[in-house]
Amino acid sequence: MFRAAILFLALTVSPALAMAQQPCTPDARQVVNELYRHMLERQADPASANWVQELERGRMTVRDVVWQIANSPEHMKRFGQAEAGEGTTYERSVGRLYRHILGRQPDAAGQRAHAELLQRNGPDAVIDRIINSNEYDQQFGDWGVPGSGGMRYCPPGNRTASQAAPPQVVPLNQRRFRDMDANNDGIISRSEWSGTRQSFETHDWNNDDVLTGDEINEAAARRGRTVDDEAFDTMDSFEYLDVNNNNRIEPREWHGTVAAFNRLDVNNDNVLSRDEMTNYRAR
């Protein structure tokens, strides 16, 4: 039994140790070639030299390049289109984003939630959420290469990820939470929460009946949870978001990021009308 236990530990721990000990490569061209192969599903062309130079000069991380490729016109045109026969519009596009960025398929709930997020806020919102997720951090960090089987890039001068330029991040909707915090104690109780009970419970990670710390940080994620787990309430309809039923969505009612709110607020009046939500979905 002891020998069996040792064998089990060896089989389960060895892959993790091998991944951690795997040397990084200083070859930026190899990294970019792998990203093109995995994300664009083709060989790199001469234009890819730009990404090679950005990596070599330390002006971008691998994560930055992944973000740029995923948001590129080519990727959007080839992999980001809605298709006939989808249960939720853009669900196959979301599946391809998961495969190209995380190297896996989404679960059904995550795929549906992110497909509706894509309909509402555009593909960049989904890409931002995936690339800035805790799951991506744990798998790749700033220098891991998705789809490469564990390849990592050695940053110039052997910089650590913490010394590198920060990756693209989703802006935080701090204003919404500040407005709710009536007594300015940095804690949001149920009585202060302006959303629904379901929304409050989604954000209350530790089930202590108050929201604090990373629970009110829209870019944070619970350690060990996947992008699917952190989909939050992105499937909200206009009626669901309009808590006070005044036929408009105010910043304190919004569940997304400031960037997404501003993108929808085409007349810049700091509220979202039903027409603004409907017209954006129809684009």
- Mean pLDDT, consecutive 10-residue stretches, the chain (283 aa), reads 42 41 85 97 95 92 94 94 92 96 90 87 86 87 93 77 38 55 83 71 79 68 66 54 78 66 83 76 46
Q: Taking a C-beta distance cutoff of 8 angstroms, is the pair 165, 119 a contact?
A: no
Q: Are strands 188-189 and 210-211 parallel, antiparallel or unpaired?
A: antiparallel
Are residues 101 and 197 located together in one domain of the fold? no
Are residues 29 and 155 located together in one domain of the fold? yes
Are residues 204 and 108 located together in one domain of the fold? no
Helices then strands, counting H and E runs in the chain, come out as 14, 2
Q: How many structural domains compose the chain?
A: 2
pLDDT digits (tens, 9 = 90+) for 187-208: 888 888 766 666 677 677 788 8
Tell how far CA 2 is from the center of its chain.
Answer: 43
Report if residue 8 sits inside a domain: no
Are residues 66 and 110 located together in one domain of the fold? yes
Report if residue 37 sits inside a domain: yes
Structure tokens at 189: 């109780």
Report if residue 187 sits inside a domain: yes
Q: Taking a C-beta distance cutoff of 8 angstroms, is the pair 34, 143 a contact?
A: no
Are residues 24 and 152 located together in one domain of the fold? yes
Torsion of CA 31, 34, 36, 38, to 10 degrees: -140
Boundary (domain end) residue, out of 160, 191, 223: 160
Q: Residue 105 has what pLDDT?
A: 92
DSSP at 210: E
Q: Residue 191 has what pLDDT?
A: 86
Are residues 144 and 256 located together in one domain of the fold? no
Element of type H or E holding 6: helix 2-21
Q: Taking a C-beta distance cutoff of 8 angstroms, is the pair 211, 269 a contact?
A: no
Q: How much is the pTM?
A: 0.58
The CATH number that applies at residue 147 is 1.10.3130.20
Report if residue 76 sits inside a domain: yes
Q: Residue 214 has what pLDDT?
A: 72
Q: Which residue segment(s) compose the domain that 138 sits in? A: 20-160
Q: Residue 231 has what pLDDT?
A: 58
